[in-house]
Structure 1
Amino acid sequence: MKGCPSVFSHVADPLEADDWLRAVEKQLNIAQYNDTEKVLFASSQLQGATQDWWESYQYGRTNNAPAITWQEFREEFRAYHILEGLMELKQEFRALKQGSMSVAEYRDKFAQLSRYAPNKVADDTDEQR
């Protein structure tokens, strides 16, 4: 809690959901939490509709199901919050033009969106294209 973790309730932009997950994961790695502690910590930062989703997800599991791993939490969180907007982000990435952005703004936007099209920027040649 010393790292002042942010809470997550819901965002319209899938990039913000992914940014939250990445920031929490960074804090968890620094704190050297084990798999179970990571899930407990991250899920404690959920509020509102996202907390409702998490409680429903847990309730839907059978009683003899193994403990939820961090990998499972990440995959389910991403499936719920990011997958829907992923195609839109890929389209935005493909259509990205510098336009009125500065070179630095364009570079930053390119880097942000390229997370969702890694096969399009697999090497330097692809990235330059």
Structure 2
Amino acid sequence: MDAEDWLRAVERELDVAQCTDQERQRGAAQQWWESYRLAHNNPNTITWQEFTERFRVHHVPAGVMSLKKEEFLALTQGAISVSVYRDKFLQLSRYCPEEVNTDPKKQYCFLKGLVDPLRYQLMNHTFPNCQHLIDRAIVTENTCREIEEKKRK
């Protein structure tokens, strides 16, 4: 998914620099874009959004997108920490925007993937947003770990 990661990184930098749509292409992407523009009926009306959509279609195969979507839908915390699970969750969630397009959906998906003891401790609480849920999961995990360490001593 190097192409997708590259595009996201570039978009962040271009947003910070406040570049126009025309200023956003260069290098191999610019060469690909120039050939795309030549085939377009009215190249002056092409937006950055259209560029990113066509870029993804061209550089990120549909099969890979499907695999990443399945990986997200099957993602569970397992033996990894909440922080590592969070990072994987956020990385893979971009391939399933319909599953996380609202904060309640995002919270549901995140909570569903946590290990059972942690999920049980958090599931009856209401969180104002997913970030609060994640923060609470990290704190709860650390507290449980500290309690387990004290029991061993």
TM-score, normalised by the number of residues in structure 2:
0.58
Deviations 1:9-64 (A, max 9, x none): xxxx2xx32221121111112222222222xxx2x132xxx6664444233234xx
Distance 1:126 1:99, change over 3 A: closer
1:104 to partner: Cα distance: 1.7
Matched with 1:45 is 27
- Distance in 2 between the 1:34 and 1:52 partners? 18
Q: Say whether 1:66 aligns with 2:43.
A: yes
- Distance in 2 between the 1:82 and 1:28 partners? 21
- The alignment-based identity, stated in percent, is 48
- Considering only aligned residues, what root-mean-square deviation do their CA atoms show, in Å? 2.3
**Residue segments in structure 2 that go unaligned for 5+ positions in a row:** 113-153
TM-score, normalised by the number of residues in structure 1:
0.67
Opposite residue 110 of structure 2, the aligned amino acid is E
Size of the aligned set, in residue pairs, is 106
Q: Between Structure 1 and Structure 2, which shows a larger proportion of helix residues?
A: 2
Matched with 2:59 is 81
- Distance in 1 between the 2:30 and 2:15 partners? 23
Q: Say whether 1:31 aligns with 2:9.
A: no
- Distance in 2 between the 1:98 and 1:127 partners? 9
Matched with 2:147 is none
Deviations 1:107-127 (A, max 9, x none): 110111011112223312343
The aligned runs of 1:1-129 (5 Å cut-off) are 13=1, 16-38=2-24, 42=25, 44-46=26-28, 53-62=32-41, 65-67=42-44, 68-84=46-62, 85-121=64-100, 122=102, 123=104, 124-129=107-112
